[in-house]
Amino acid sequence: MIDYMQQVLRAFESCTGWNRDNCYENITSTSENVLNFKIPEGLKCQVSNSSTAHTFSTFELSNHSVINGSLAYLYSSGKGLDRSVSSSGNVLLQNAVESYRQIQPSYLDEASRKAFEPSSLWFGRMYYPSSTLEAMVVKRLNPETQLVAKCLSSLAHTSVLTLYWQRDSGQNCQEWVFSSNEALVGYRMLHNFVGSQSKLNTSLYNNSSLSLGAEFWFGLLNTSPACSTTMRYSTHSANTGRPLTLTFSWNPLFGHVSSTYSVKTSSNATISTKFDFNLYSIESNLSFGCELWRSGKEAGPNQGTTQTASRRAQPQLAETKDMFYHLMAGSSNSQKLMEDLNVTFASPLNKIQKERSNIQKFEKSLVDSNFTSVCKLSTSLRDQNLKVLWEGRYKGFLISAGTELTNAPLDLPSNMVDESKKTSFFKPAKFGLQLQYSM
């Protein structure tokens, strides 16, 4: 379940033309959302409201060990934000839940480039009774750059300031990060290979994308480095139009290799697998996760109109832009060429049409389906656990309930487990329920 404030932040980013998926941090988020979803702990209630077009507030109460809560305020100077943020009763469940995401690089056209105006977002959250303060400032400096400052101030923990400077030119995304915690310095970059890759493809219609990214980290205080590189390939299946994503990550420092394969097999089911392998220690792990969406009965006329209205309000970038984007990047010559080719190569173009219609049909069914709940399952061979999460809407409330069952004792280190005893039964490691309501 995406927090209300997170939804506002995403809405802000989409309003200002920032593609959060085009970032190395989120290069594996497709499979992570299916495999490593977060399970709420304890009981948590969240009430949120958009008081004005620019301010949003959230009140949260939870009983994690003791009753505590938080108050969050957000101010944004972005325009049209209130229209993008919808209440918990109207929001599409697909947008309110971290789920499979088909990530496509998007390019800003000249029009939106000109329409850009610098805007900023201010966010603060105060926890009590621990009186920890979280603050975040997001500044869009120009169409390509963004500056994020996150700060945490608390009595128990040392205060931490983390700065992100991000530059995203569509094809290339670079990011510098500095965190005062252990003086961590990082550099991340992501590059999208487009256009030229179509030569390799026999099909004229190409909507696949290949991305390559890398990150380098160094903790100055503890002199510990980290780095990794990841390749991602995402495409649609030509026959069925189902999207699929493959990633391959490699950590050269510790010899860690992990590959994922995620596919949306139907409009209401997603499957993701992940295989980890360590080149040095020959340790391996196999993870498996799936999402099952359940659509309710056909929406009534009233509800249907409001929902379609809200859907229309949301900018559907993918619908128009992701097809032929590599051709659109070129001039109108290609369009003319296509028309000329129509005569000579009738059958391949028919094939393109067919593929395209397949994909579009599938995406349309995805958008139009009225999902009411989603059930997520994930398990890992090495950790010997089973995670279950149910998320859905009930009378305007967004509910998220989940539990993690584990076979291993919780606190003991792994090799002591074998010595002590073999527990044959799964025990709940944690479970929780989260209620979210916003107007």
Partner 1 sequence: MSFRFNKATFEDNSFNEQIREKLTSALNADANTGTQSKSANASNSAVTDEVKQETNAPKKLDILKSGISVRKVNFPSIPQLEILDLDVSAQSKSLLKGICKISCKNAMLEITTEIEANLLLLYTNNGPAFTTPRLISNDSFTVPITMTFSQIELEAITNIFVKNTSVGISFNDVNLDFDFDCSIKLLQSSIEKRLKGSMETVFKEVLPSVIFSMSQRWFTHGEANTGSTDESKFSEQVSTHPHVPRTILEDSDLEDLSPATMLRLSTLVSSRQSLSLNPTSMNTFSAIPGCLERQNLHRFNSRVPALSNFYPAFYDNEPPELKTLGRSTSSSAVIGGGYSQQRNVLPQRFLDDRSYDLKTIASVQSRIYERSSSGDNSNLRRRKIKMGKRAKPIVTPVPQTPVIHEEEAEMTATVEPERDGQTETADSEIIHTPRAVPATPSAETFIVKNSVLDDAPLLQWPAQVTPSVSGKLQMSKLNLLEEAQFLSRKRELQKLRSSLYSPMRGSKFYVTREMERPILEHKGLSFVGLAHGLKAGGEEVPPPPYGY
By CB under 8 A, name the binding residues for partner 1: 24-25, 27-28, 134, 150-152, 154, 157, 160-162, 164, 177, 179, 181-182, 184, 186, 215, 217, 219, 222, 224-226, 228, 230, 249-251, 254-256, 258, 276, 278, 280-281, 283, 412-416, 419
CB of 141 to partner 1, least distance (A): 20
Please say which residue, 255 or 296, places its beta carbon nearer to partner 1: 255
CB of 150 to partner 1, least distance (A): 5
C-alpha 237, offset from chain centre:
21
Please say which residue, 258 or 385, places its beta carbon nearer to partner 1: 258
CB of 407 to partner 1, least distance (A): 17
* Beta bridge partner(s), residue 391: 374, 400
Please say which residue, 12 or 24, places its beta carbon nearer to partner 1: 24
Tokens linked to 215? 């990150």
Please say which residue, 143 or 432, places its beta carbon nearer to partner 1: 432
Give per-residue burial for 35-45: e unless 16+ CB within 10 Å, then b.
Answer: bbbebbbbebb
Strands 55-62 and 42-50: antiparallel
Please say which residue, 165 or 397, places its beta carbon nearer to partner 1: 165
CB of 415 to partner 1, least distance (A): 4
Distance, in Å, from the CA atom of 30 to the CA atom of 307, rounded to the nearest integer, reads 26
What is the per-residue DSSP string for 336-377? Answer: HHHHHHHHH-HHHHHHHHHHHHHHHHHHHHHHHS-EEEEEEE
Please say which residue, 46 or 88, places its beta carbon nearer to partner 1: 46
CB of 430 to partner 1, least distance (A): 16
Tokens linked to 1? 């379940």
Distance, in Å, from the CA atom of 192 to the CA atom of 395, rounded to the nearest integer, reads 42
What is the per-residue DSSP string for 80-113? Answer: SHHHH---TTTS-HHHHS------------HHHH
Please say which residue, 5 or 108, places its beta carbon nearer to partner 1: 5
CB of 135 to partner 1, least distance (A): 9
Please say which residue, 176 or 345, places its beta carbon nearer to partner 1: 176
Tokens linked to 338? 């296509």
Peptide linkage before 129 cis (omega within 30 of 0): yes
CB of 357 to partner 1, least distance (A): 36
Smallest CA-to-CA distance from 232 within 24, 4, 2 is with 24
Q: State the amino acid at position 200 in one-letter form.
A: L
Q: Please, is 196 exposed, middle or buried when counting C-beta atoms within 10 Å of its C-beta (0-12, 13-18, 19+)?
A: exposed
CB of 28 to partner 1, least distance (A): 6
CB of 273 to partner 1, least distance (A): 16
Distance, in Å, from the CA atom of 397 to the CA atom of 394, rounded to the nearest integer, reads 5
Please say which residue, 185 or 269, places its beta carbon nearer to partner 1: 185
What is the per-residue DSSP string for 329-342? Answer: TS-HHHHHHHHHHH
Question: Does residue 166 contact residue 144 with C-beta atoms inside 8 Å?
Answer: no
Please say which residue, 220 or 317, places its beta carbon nearer to partner 1: 220
Rg, the chain, Cα only:
23
CB of 41 to partner 1, least distance (A): 13
